[in-house]
Amino acid sequence: MRPPLSKLSQPKTVVIVLTIIYIVLKLSIINTPSPERPPQECIEQTSGCGFVFDEAHYVRAVRKMINGEAANNEHPPLAKYLIMYSILALGDTPLSWRLPSVISGTLTLPVLYLLARRLIGDGMAALLSVLLFALDVTGFNISSIAILDAPSLFFALLGAYLFIAGRRYLGTIVLAASVLSKTSALFTALGIIIYDALVTSRSGGDAASRISHSMRHIVFYGLLLFALMTAGLAVYDAHFQAYPHPFAHMDFILSYHSSLRFNCAEPHLPLYCVHKDNSGKTVVDLPLNWVLPIGGFSPMGFYIVTVLIDSREQHPILYYGIQSPLWWLFWIAAIYSIPFGLRHIIQHLRGLKNLPYSGREAVDTFFTIWVVFNYLIYFPLAYLLSRWVYPFYFYFTLPILSIAMADILTRRDMPSYVTWIVVGVQLMWFFIYYPVRSEEHMALLRLLGLPA
């Protein structure tokens, strides 16, 4: 019995099992909520259409695309193409809208394992990173609905893995797919290229040669990425006759996103402010507020159904954008990793040492660069430019935060019980805020005195 049991205990095997459980959970709720109106009535309106969160924008846009009309041009087209072809293949149902996100969100788990194994160099730590990420309820929700984020993150992580594995041309193509799914993934792609430029700049011992090598690397793959993005937009523009050329489309995307600005009528900096316009007041949760364990942002209600049971409000459907304990651990990861990541980068550029391909220094450096381009980038956008930002943008930071925390918990002299506590609390959070609850689930929550 030893060989079979040994195989079952291998991290790769456990990741496969986790991936199967993940997609089964997603498929079990994929049709909830469902529309009460036929699809043709849900192109110009949203009431009774079963849309969760920004599905109201993207599914309606895809229906226009199916009718031959360019729509939602302020966002890149690839994720919408995936939804469109899913609808054409399977019919216009919630299953077909959400299937591209479900598949890409599920495949993110094994890709994250491969990336973590490369960076950390340890299978069990890589498995822990997958488990922490999989148990984040906001990540689970975002990758269960028909929006742009799950396909974009999947391509971003796969591109990062390919770059680190030395398959840079294929990696650039995949990163272009990420950017063609969601505009903000451009920051992610640039961060990955910069990290790879640093790691590969080993020629010569002086700072000038290393910086020169890094710049040539960044310019080459940056231009290749830009060319692929341009080609992708050109295909969409030719298909729908949306713009005369892709540069006009890019100009529209930049102009649109530059115009998304809030006014801080009631400032409560640095945590949030209150935007006022003709439609009323809206709270803008600023980036610092996304990771605060005390007094953080209020949960974003993506889709909530409320019923009364024994005179108490219960929520059989509760799609939330909400912090999990993993978000609060950002501060631990930042303290452990960012100072060392910055030191490794400086020493590397000065020619004092080479950046390794795996191990603690690689994790610290990769986490530092990823945080700069996927989280800290929103600080100047929000605080200086007043550009609208939302807590669910932190979704892109979560997988690499999971890698950093897995490395800290398993390889930096942390007691093993701390790991079990972190996983247990993360699992409890996932159980409490799971988006679609059965009567038994809600009864158990009530029995335990937990929010139902």
pLDDT mean over 341-363 = 89
pLDDT mean over 274-288 = 91
**Confidence band, pLDDT 50/70/90 cuts, at residue 269:** confident
Please tell me the total number of residues recorded for the chain in this structure.
Answer: 452
Evaluate if residue 404 carries a pLDDT over 70.
yes
Residue with tokens 């451009």: 186
Q: What is the pLDDT of residue 133?
A: 98
> Which carries the bigger pLDDT value, residue 409 or residue 449?
409
Q: What is the pLDDT of residue 5?
A: 39
Evaluate if residue 444 carries a pLDDT over 70.
yes
Round the average pLDDT of the chain to a whole number and report it.
Answer: 93
Q: Which of 155, 150, 176 is nearest to 55 (CA)?
A: 150
Q: Which of 28, 45, 26, 29 is nearest to 37 (CA)?
A: 45
The DSSP secondary-structure symbol of 247 reads H
Q: How far apart are CA 54 and CA 205, in angstroms?
A: 50
Long-range contacts, stretch 1-7, CB < 8 angstroms, 24+ apart: none
Q: Which of 362, 411, 401, 405 is nearest to 139 (CA)?
A: 401
What are the pLDDT digits (tens) for 152-182? 999 999 999 999 999 999 999 999 999 999 9
H-helix or E-strand spanning residue 303: strand 300-309
pTM of full prediction above 0.75: yes
Please give the share of the chain, as a percent, with pLDDT higher than 90.
83
**Confidence band, pLDDT 50/70/90 cuts, at residue 343:** very high
